[in-house]
Each structure stands twice: as C-alpha cells, then as structure tokens.
C-alpha cells in the first residue's frame, strides 16, 4: 500500500498514491458520467496528468457552473481543497483569453491577511509551471502605498485582498474603470464572514461591483453550515435571475472521533482551569505527532500553557498563541508550526481560521466548546485525510461541564450545525458604505437603494430607513436641522449625491472598516523609578513589548499585583502613558487569576441537548460517577429540570434568600434576564441585593423570604417571568447599561460619527473616545431616542451582548410553565452558580454605592473621618457580600 492520501490546501490528490479506502471514497463521489480530465483544456489536463493528479469532482462542478456564468457556493470540510477549486475557472479563462493584462479579472476576498498571502503563494506554483501569463498580486493593509497606486493604474489579472481593502477601492474615484472588467469574485471562509459586519460590508461592496461589472459571477467557499440556503442567497443578486447560487457540496469522509475526557481525579465543582487533566493531556501530546489545544478564553490558554510546561519534563516544544500576544511572536509560532518544529500549540479562536497544517493529528478542547459548529471546525483542524477520522478530546473542567461536553459531542457527531445568526445588515455599516460610494462616484438615492436591497443582509431594508441613513451621512440626520451648512454629502441640481469636499473623502479613507478593537495597552518588560514627588518614570529605556492587554483588565489591578500573560507570571509595576510596565515574578500563583476574553455563550442546540440528557436518567450512565451522584442528590432534594418547564428554586442561605432559575439560554441572555428580574423583584418588595448568571442558570439573592412571599400570594412567579418585562423595564435598564454604551460606541465609530483616526492629529487613545461616546449617548438618547444610530446600536445589542431575541423566545416558551420548588437549603444543582457569586461586573447607579463605600473605607483608613461628609453608608451594605 502506498502512502496515505494527503490532499494539500490547493486541493490536488495524488492519484497514483491512493490507498484502498481513498479509492473507495473517490469512487463514491465520482458517479458514472462524471466530468473527467477531458473537461479541462489541454494545458491543464497535461499539467494534472504530468503530476499524476486527477481533478476532483467538485473542482469540475465549479468549472461547469463558471462556464454557464452561474454563481456558486462550494461547501467542503476543512482541508478538502477548496481554494484551487475556486480559482481553477479563472485560471482557465485567463489562459484561454487571447490576451491577459486586460484589466482586473478575478478578486479573491479572505477574512485573513495571512490567508491571502498564503493563497498567493499556492497559486504561483501552477501558474508558473504551466507558463500562464497571469499576474497575481495581493493587496492588504501592509501593501506599500506605491504598489497600491500601481495596482489601480495597471491592475493585475487577479487581486487577493480583504473586505476592508475592497471597500477602499469602491470609494476610489477610479472605481468604475477598475471594476468594469471584473468577471469573478471568490469569497473564502464565507461561513465566517457572512454573519458579521465585515460580511455586511462585503455584501454591499459586491453589489457595487455588480453594478459596475455586468459580467460578474461569484463563488463562495464555506465550511459545513446549518443553512446553506442563506449563503447561497448571499452570493447572488436576485434581480439578475437565480434566487440562489448553485450548490456544490463535498460530503462524506470519515466521521470524526470525538471523546470526552474521563478522569479518576476529583472533578472540580466550578471553574474552568482543567488542571486535573494536565498529566493526561501531556501524555496524549507525547503519543501524537502534533497536537492543537484550543481554549475558550485567553486566561484558560495561559493557564493550560503554564501547567503543561510545569510538567514538561521532556521539554517538548509546546507553544502559545492568542490574540493578545505580540504579532511578531505569533508569526514566529505559526512559522515554527508550518515547519513542523512544534509538538503542540495552545491557542484560542485565533487559530480557528487560517492556513491548514497538515501534520496535526490530535485536537484537544479545554472546557466545553459551547457549540457544535465550533467543535466540528476545530476538530477538522486535525488530520486532513478525508478517509481517516479527525481525532479530538474534549476536557470538561467541572462537573456541570461534563454534561455540556457530552451534549456538544452528540451534536457534532450527529452533524448538527449551530444556527447561524442571520440578522439584518447593520445601519452603521450601511452609513459607512453610503459615504464611500459618494467618495467614489456621485449616486442617485433611489438607484442606490435598489442596489443595497439586492444584497442578502439589506433585503428587508425599507426606503424610509435608507433615507434616514443618507440623511445621517449628510448632516447627522437630526430633527434639529442645524448642520445643513456643514453637510458631508450634498444633492446637486442633477439629483445626484456628491461628497462635499476632498477632506471628507480623506477622512473616510482613514476610517474604513468595521472591526473595533477593545482599547488595549502595550505590555512592556521594564523596571520603573518613583520620584520623591510621586511621579513614576521608566528606569532606562524599558524592555521589549510582549503583547497587548485590555484596558479594563488593567483597571482591576494595583501595582504589585501578579497576573499571567504570555505563559509567564508577571508583576504589574506601573502604567506610564499607554504602556504597562511589568517584570517577571517569582510567585507560583498569580494574584489576579483570570481575565475574560472571547467567552462565547452556549448555543441553543447544545443547550437543548444538555436539557435532554438531564431529563432522561437512562442517559446518565455515560456520565462520570461524580456527576451522576450529584444529579442523584438533586433528584432527591429538589427535582431535575425537565425540557418543558422552567425550574425555579427558592431557599435561604447565610441570612439571605435565593431564587435560582435554570433557563439554559446562555450567559448573555441570563445576564439580561437577571437585570430585568431584579428590577421587578425590587418593585415586589423582595429587596433583591444582586444576581449572578452562568450559561445554565441565574441566581438572585435578597433580604426577603421569597419562598414565603410566593406561599403568601405576595409574589407570583408567573407574573415575575411575564413577557411584559421587555417593555418599560428593558427601556429603563438600557438607559444606563454599559453594554449598550459600548455597543453604541462601536456603531458611532463604524458609522463615522466619531473618527478613530484624525488627519494630521496624534492618534487618540481609546480612552478619550470611550469618554466622549458615553456623553454623546446620554445626550442623544434624551433628545432623539429614535435616532438611526440608536436603532443600529439597539439592533446590535439585541442580537449581541444582551441577546434579547433569546430572552424573548424563552419568556414566550415558559409562560405558565414554571415549576417552583421552595427548599430549606441550597440545592445541589445550584452549587456551581453560587460559586460564581462575586465575579460579576457592576453597572449604573450601583456604582454610587461603590463610590460611597470607597469614600468611607478608604478615607477613614487613611485619614480619619473627613469634615463635610454627612452620614455613613446604608445599613447592611457591607453584609451584602
């Protein structure tokens, strides 16, 4: 038997080296009468044959669709060789053309710069080997200005780029000339792009290119998704015929081998470290060629990395990769991985997409993957041989997570995909696009409306809202028309909108894009010196920058605190300007244990399966003994939540009274629910003190005995969970919600209300921007609560940070289906959520309580009671914890 089949990213199969199971696979997909090598022009057929390769069925199918000028979507598992399939039609067309150099022919768009670069490299080989006169160039944010200019004057045949660069080209006065020759746009990783704001931006750009290039055909490349029809719609303009793109799908291949890690160690009650499993993970790394270890948060990645090195007696090359690390360091890790020099990488979602590494043969998932699609895609990063199973191990970090991991595994093995969050396109993105269009060419408002509503994200947009967006772009769109004389775009006598002056266009160019980074600070190795006057200065020139860290994390630390970063325990020395100075610490345990980053809420699909496992004790046999015992205790002392009803427990604990509900709707929805329920409990005189939310449950505590209130008819749980909480209560909460302010800030930046980058100005720090958008939010909300930008922010928050849709669906489902259990003490199922108490953020008016506390305790400690302060804190305040 020959060596196993190993299709590379460019998709060829070494036909001469097929083993038997690969033959079986190919035979199964090659139905009789399938197109064959004969479908290729001679030059390509020879090239394939010369290397002993055979074109694959999906490559030929895409070719056939391209010949018929039909838009197409290719769905294939990771590593099945999508990319060459996407390019083959363009290569053939260009090879057959009488002359090349006739202008831009094909645009390839990828969400990752690195992918564009990698694809350029992979394409160059066949083009050179076949001697094709095709010029291929990349264009990213890193491309030198000179080359970018030249690309506009003398475009390559193929341009490999990102959505942001495409948006910039749309807003170029030469856009018409540049795009009129384009025949094909290939969108890679469409499943990842389409549900995002970058996807909205790209859809709008595609509509614009279609208007300029009548011959345009699109090709989408995607991983397996739940609803291919949505992506097929995304790729077409229904005004031009077909309502959906053609579908080419590679199915089959071996089912993945996913197991849930079992341990003889004690499984923790809560937490996400997974420390108990490290020795066994280390063993697995040793036994495999290359292991990819995914963590849900950077904190978890840091911890895993550190724990593995603590026991790394063989000094195996194990590396760390996450978004906060310095870019240079990340590139080094990626290069080492590509060269096969690493035994394992611990990573976050930064490695979810990107260049495929052929040698990975094991994926370890730390903690619950939270969703089936993520688990499948990450598992697909291991072993790109279609005939052999990809192997993954999920490591539950606590007792409850075992259930989630089992549920996610079931869902993945059943081939279930998470529901894509299809959502209407963002009005903020549309505003950025409208200004961009005006910067490129004067536009007619009605024609642009038709163009915009031909895209999938904006097909439901009404004319009036579109008009509001245009007015917003022009003058801010306020009822008070005081900015007409400062308009950014104006409608001239010919009825066309034009940009008012070149400075507006220049400012737009500097602010294109929809990715808003959290404001971060550089982490720098270096000692500091404190002067007698209390000033802090760097001692010497300071050391190297090792990465960036979110500002809000730094805010929680005091100089001297230790934390984990880049696989080391660091001591926070000082913050000087926009850099935090740190030194290596000798301590074993970091004082500040975690920082959040990229935590994903549990998907509905996996949540439903967790409920199903709970509800069906016959399935418990596959759970570890510790988890089984725990559920048994729950059965005895309370009840197991079933699928149809919402279980609500009330019980006293440590002088306070708790209400715990188990909606299984994910952390974000629970947080929103917690905010709204506490407001209502306050009105019902239950005197709530606080709440905490996890992915499964929600706990509220207060001073009144809620069991007694329900028994005495003073509190109705049906009324408490009534859908009407989404009215005034929601409205009142949003007014002060920091989540809403953060969402508004992002919309304001994307829509161009606030400029991130100002011409000729020193780059503003994120802090100043945060300050001013909060002030703007307060003013706008009071004066124009229906302003288009507030609508945009509300829509984002409802789908995002406050997950309103899920809350609404949930409330509808549980109406009159609440099962109340008054208990005399905490239930076993409530233990994990109660262990989370004290880790949650604080919002709005509650900050006054913290201010008062600080004023009292800090001042009294430092200098005794100050004259002028009247009174002390509210009774019981300190005991609220």
Partner 1 sequence: MILSALLRADEIEPTLSVCGVALVAHPAGALYDPASGALVVADLHLEKGSSFARRGQMLPPYDTATTLGRLARLVDVYRPRAVIALGDSFHDRGGPARLTEADRSALAALQRGRDWIWISGNHDPEPPAGCGGEASAEATLGSLTLRHEPSKGARQGEVAGHLHPVAKIAVRGRGLRRRCFATDGARIVLPAFGAYAGGLNVRDAAFGGLFAPGALTAWMLGETGVYAIAGGALRPD
CA 10 to chain centre: 26
Q: Which stretch binds partner 1 (CB under 8 A): 274-282, 405-413, 476-484, 628-636?
A: 476-484
**Contact with partner 1 (CB under 8 A): which of 1, 480, 493, 586?**
480
Contact between 117 and partner 1 (CB under 8 A)?
no
Is residue 261 within 8 A of residue 280, CB to CB? The reply is yes
**Contact with partner 1 (CB under 8 A): which of 266, 763, 812, 870?**
870
Contact between 835 and partner 1 (CB under 8 A)?
no
Q: Which stretch binds partner 1 (CB under 8 A): 24-32, 368-376, 646-654, 751-759?
A: 751-759
Q: What angle do CA 392, 293, 800 make, to 5 degrees?
A: 95
Contact between 735 and partner 1 (CB under 8 A)?
no
Contact between 555 and partner 1 (CB under 8 A)?
yes
3-state secondary structure 461-474: CCHHHHHHHHHHHH
CA distance 627 to 263: 12
Contact between 755 and partner 1 (CB under 8 A)?
yes
Which residues from 850-869 bind partner 1, rule CB under 8 A?
850-855, 858-859, 862-863, 866-869
* Residue 588 beta carbon to partner 1: minimum distance, rounded to whole angstroms: 21
Which residues from 481-500 bind partner 1, rule CB under 8 A?
482-483, 486, 488
Contact between 296 and partner 1 (CB under 8 A)?
no
Contact between 871 and partner 1 (CB under 8 A)?
yes
**Contact with partner 1 (CB under 8 A): which of 314, 596, 779, 785?**
779
* Residue 675 beta carbon to partner 1: minimum distance, rounded to whole angstroms: 8
Contact between 133 and partner 1 (CB under 8 A)?
no
* Residue 517 beta carbon to partner 1: minimum distance, rounded to whole angstroms: 18
CA distance 175 to 592: 52
CA distance 867 to 881: 29
Which residues from 565-594 bind partner 1, rule CB under 8 A?
574-575
Structure tokens at 265: 């160690």
Structure tokens at 675: 């905010």
Contact between 601 and partner 1 (CB under 8 A)?
no
Choice between 277 and 523, CB closer to partner 1: 523
Choice between 686 and 710, CB closer to partner 1: 686
* Residue 786 beta carbon to partner 1: minimum distance, rounded to whole angstroms: 13
Encoded one letter per residue, x for contact with partner 1 by CB under 8 A and - for no contact, window 170-199 reads ------------------------------
Contact between 753 and partner 1 (CB under 8 A)?
yes
Residue 506 DSSP one-character state:
H
Which burial class, exposed, middle or buried, applies to 575 when counting CB atoms under 10 A from its CB (0-12, 13-18, 19+)?
middle
- Closest Cα to residue 644, out of 809, 829, 813? 813
* Residue 677 beta carbon to partner 1: minimum distance, rounded to whole angstroms: 11
- Closest Cα to residue 669, out of 805, 813, 844? 805
CA distance 596 to 881: 22
Q: Which stretch binds partner 1 (CB under 8 A): 48-56, 133-141, 767-775, 812-820?
A: 767-775
* Residue 779 beta carbon to partner 1: minimum distance, rounded to whole angstroms: 5
Contact between 847 and partner 1 (CB under 8 A)?
yes
* Residue 688 beta carbon to partner 1: minimum distance, rounded to whole angstroms: 6
Contact between 732 and partner 1 (CB under 8 A)?
no
Choice between 173 and 841, CB closer to partner 1: 841
3-state secondary structure 726-771: HCHHHHHHHHHCHHHHHHHHHHHHHHCCCCCCCCCCCCCCHHHHHH
Contact between 311 and partner 1 (CB under 8 A)?
no
**Contact with partner 1 (CB under 8 A): which of 472, 572, 595, 651?**
472
Q: Where are the beta strands (DSSP E) in 665-718?
A: 688-693, 698-702
Residues 6+ positions from 620 with CB-CB distance below 8 Å: 613, 627, 628, 631
Q: What sign has the CA pseudo-torsion 708, 710, 715, 721?
A: positive
* Residue 787 beta carbon to partner 1: minimum distance, rounded to whole angstroms: 8
Task: Count residues binding partner 1 (CB under 8 A).
Answer: 79
Residues 6+ positions from 875 with CB-CB distance below 8 Å: none
Contact between 874 and partner 1 (CB under 8 A)?
yes
Contact between 560 and partner 1 (CB under 8 A)?
no
Contact between 437 and partner 1 (CB under 8 A)?
no
CA distance 451 to 169: 18
What phi, psi does 652 have (nearest 5°)?
A: -90, 150
**Residue 313 CB neighbours (<10 A):** 7
**Contact with partner 1 (CB under 8 A): which of 29, 507, 525, 639?**
507
Contact between 760 and partner 1 (CB under 8 A)?
no
Which residues from 783-822 bind partner 1, rule CB under 8 A?
783-784, 787
Which burial class, exposed, middle or buried, applies to 280 when counting CB atoms under 10 A from its CB (0-12, 13-18, 19+)?
middle
State the pairing for strand pair 698-702/688-693. antiparallel
CA distance 439 to 343: 50
Encoded one letter per residue, x for contact with partner 1 by CB under 8 A and - for no contact, window 650-689 reads ------------------------x---x---x----xxx
Q: Where are the beta strands (DSSP E) in 76-191?
A: 106-109, 136-139, 158-161, 184-187
- Closest Cα to residue 680, out of 736, 718, 641, 735? 718
**Contact with partner 1 (CB under 8 A): which of 130, 640, 754, 835?**
754
Contact between 36 and partner 1 (CB under 8 A)?
no
Identify the residue whose tokens are 């506490």: 678
Encoded one letter per residue, x for contact with partner 1 by CB under 8 A and - for no contact, window 685-704 reads --xxxxxx------------
* Residue 508 beta carbon to partner 1: minimum distance, rounded to whole angstroms: 9
Encoded one letter per residue, x for contact with partner 1 by CB under 8 A and - for no contact, window 71-100 reads ------------------------------
* Residue 562 beta carbon to partner 1: minimum distance, rounded to whole angstroms: 14
Choice between 32 and 871, CB closer to partner 1: 871
120: enclosing H helix or E strand: helix 113-129
- Closest Cα to residue 762, out of 500, 580, 578? 578
Choice between 511 and 583, CB closer to partner 1: 511
CA distance 680 to 637: 28
Is residue 743 within 8 A of residue 797, CB to CB? The reply is yes
Contact between 730 and partner 1 (CB under 8 A)?
no
* Residue 705 beta carbon to partner 1: minimum distance, rounded to whole angstroms: 17
Q: What sign has the CA pseudo-torsion 479, 481, 487, 491?
A: positive
C-alpha separations of 178 from 153, 154, 213, 214, 220 in Å: 8, 9, 9, 13, 22
* Residue 513 beta carbon to partner 1: minimum distance, rounded to whole angstroms: 17
Q: Which stretch binds partner 1 (CB under 8 A): 106-114, 389-397, 470-478, 718-726?
A: 470-478
**Contact with partner 1 (CB under 8 A): which of 48, 53, 478, 633?**
478
Q: Which stretch binds partner 1 (CB under 8 A): 122-130, 293-301, 501-509, 813-821?
A: 501-509
**Contact with partner 1 (CB under 8 A): which of 421, 515, 644, 846?**
846
Q: Which stretch binds partner 1 (CB under 8 A): 43-51, 195-203, 418-426, 778-786?
A: 778-786
- Closest Cα to residue 111, out of 45, 165, 71, 178? 165
Which residues from 528-547 bind partner 1, rule CB under 8 A?
533-536
* Residue 499 beta carbon to partner 1: minimum distance, rounded to whole angstroms: 10
């Amino acid at each position: 038997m020959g060596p196993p089949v190993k299709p590379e990213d460019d998709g060829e199969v070494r036909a001469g080296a097929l083993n038997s199971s690969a033959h079986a696979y190919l035979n199964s997909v090659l139905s009789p009468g399938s197109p064959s090598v004969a479908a290729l022009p001679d030059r390509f057929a020879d090239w394939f044959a010369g290397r002993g390769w055979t074109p694959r069925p999906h490559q030929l199918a895409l070719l056939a669709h391209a010949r018929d000028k039909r838009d197409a979507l290719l769905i294939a598992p990771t590593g099945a060789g999508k990319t060459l399939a996407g390019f083959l039609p363009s290569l053939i067309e260009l090879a057959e053309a009488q002359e090349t150099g006739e202008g831009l022919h094909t645009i390839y768009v990828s969400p990752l710069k690195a992918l564009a670069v990698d694809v350029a490299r992979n394409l160059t080989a066949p083009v050179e080997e076949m001697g094709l006169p095709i010029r291929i160039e990349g264009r990213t944010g890193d491309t030198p200005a000179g080359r970018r200019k030249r690309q506009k004057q003398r475009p390559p045949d193929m341009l490999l780029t990102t959505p942001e660069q495409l948006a910039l080209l749309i807003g170029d006065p030469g856009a018409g000339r540049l795009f009129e020759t384009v025949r094909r746009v290939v969108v890679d990783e469409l499943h990842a792009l389409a549900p995002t704001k970058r996807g909205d931006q790209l859809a709008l750009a595609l509509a614009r290119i279609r208007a300029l290039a009548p011959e345009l055909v699109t090709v989408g490349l995607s991983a397996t998704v739940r609803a291919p029809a949505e992506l097929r719609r995304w790729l077409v303009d229904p005004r031009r015929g077909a309502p959906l793109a053609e579908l080419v799908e590679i199915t089959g291949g071996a089912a993945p081998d996913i197991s849930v890690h079992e341990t003889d160690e004690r499984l923790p009650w809560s937490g996400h470290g997974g420390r108990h499993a490290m020795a066994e993970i280390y063993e697995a790394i040793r036994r495999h060629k290359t292991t990819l270890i995914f963590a849900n948060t950077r904190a978890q990645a840091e911890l895993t990395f550190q724990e593995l090195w603590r026991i790394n007696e063989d000094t195996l090359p194990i590396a760390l990769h996450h978004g906060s690390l310095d870019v240079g360091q990340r590139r080094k890790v990626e290069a080492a991985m590509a060269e096969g020099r690493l035994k394992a990488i611990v990573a976050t979602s930064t490695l979810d997409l990107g260049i495929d590494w052929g040698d990975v043969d094991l994926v370890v998932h730390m903690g619950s993957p939270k969703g089936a699609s993520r688990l499948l895609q990450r598992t697909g990063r291991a072993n790109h041989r279609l005939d052999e199973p990809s192997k993954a191990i999920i490591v539950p970090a606590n007792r409850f997570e075992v259930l989630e991991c089992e549920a996610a595994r079931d869902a993945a093995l059943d081939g279930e995909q998470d529901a894509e969050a299809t959502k209407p396109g963002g009005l903020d993105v549309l505003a950025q696009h409208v200004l961009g269009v005006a910067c490129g060419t004067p536009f007619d408002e009605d024609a642009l409306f038709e163009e915009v509503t031909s895209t999938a994200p904006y097909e439901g947009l009404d004319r009036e809202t579109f008009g509001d967006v245009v007015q917003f772009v022009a003058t801010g769109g306020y009822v008070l028309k005081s900015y007409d004389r400062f308009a950014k775009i104006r409608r001239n006598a010919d009825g066309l909108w034009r940009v008012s002056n070149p400075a507006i266009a220049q400012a737009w160019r500097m602010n294109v894009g929809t990715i808003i980074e959290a404001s971060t600070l550089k982490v720098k190795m270096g000692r500091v010196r404190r002067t007698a006057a209390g000033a802090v200065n760097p001692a010497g020139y300071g050391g190297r920058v090792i990465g960036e860290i979110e500002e809000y994390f730094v805010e929680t630390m005091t100089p001297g605190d230790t934390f984990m970063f880049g696989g080391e325990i660091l001591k926070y020395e000082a913050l000087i300007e926009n850099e935090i100075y740190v030194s290596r610490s000798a301590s074993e345990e970091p004082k500040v244990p975690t920082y959040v980053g990229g935590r994903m809420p549990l998907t509905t699909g996996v949540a439903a399966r967790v409920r199903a496992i709970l509800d069906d004790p016959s399935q418990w046999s596959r759970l570890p003994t510790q988890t089984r015992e725990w559920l048994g205790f729950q059965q005895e002392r309370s009840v197991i939540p079933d699928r149809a009803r919402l279980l609500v427990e009330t019980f006293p604990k440590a002088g306070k009274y708790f209400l715990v509900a188990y909606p299984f709707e994910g952390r974000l929805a629970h947080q929103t629910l917690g905010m709204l329920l506490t407001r209502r409990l306050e009105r019902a005189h239950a005197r709530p003190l606080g709440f905490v939310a996890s992915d499964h449950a929600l706990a509220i505590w207060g001073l009144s005995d809620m069991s007694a209130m329900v028994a005495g008819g003073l509190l109705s749980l049906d009324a408490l969970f009534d859908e009407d909480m989404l009215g005034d209560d929601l409205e009142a909460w949003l007014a002060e919600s920091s989540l809403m302010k953060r969402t508004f800030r992002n919309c304001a930046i994307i829509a161009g209300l606030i400029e991130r980058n100002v011409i000729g100005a020193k780059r503003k720090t994120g802090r100043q921007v945060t300050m001013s958008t909060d002030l703007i939010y307060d003013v706008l909300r009071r004066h124009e609560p229906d302003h288009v930008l507030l609508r945009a922010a509300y829509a984002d928050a409802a789908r995002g940070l406050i997950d309103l849709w899920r809350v609404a669906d949930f409330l509808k489902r549980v109406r009159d289906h609440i099962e109340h259990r008054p208990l005399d003490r905490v239930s076993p199922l409530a233990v994990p959520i109660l262990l989370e108490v004290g880790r949650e953020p604080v919002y709005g008016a509650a900050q006054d309580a913290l201010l008062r506390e600080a004023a009292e305790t800090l001042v009294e400690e430092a200098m005794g009671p100050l004259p002028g302060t009247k009174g002390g804190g509210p009774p019981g305040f300190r005991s609220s914890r």
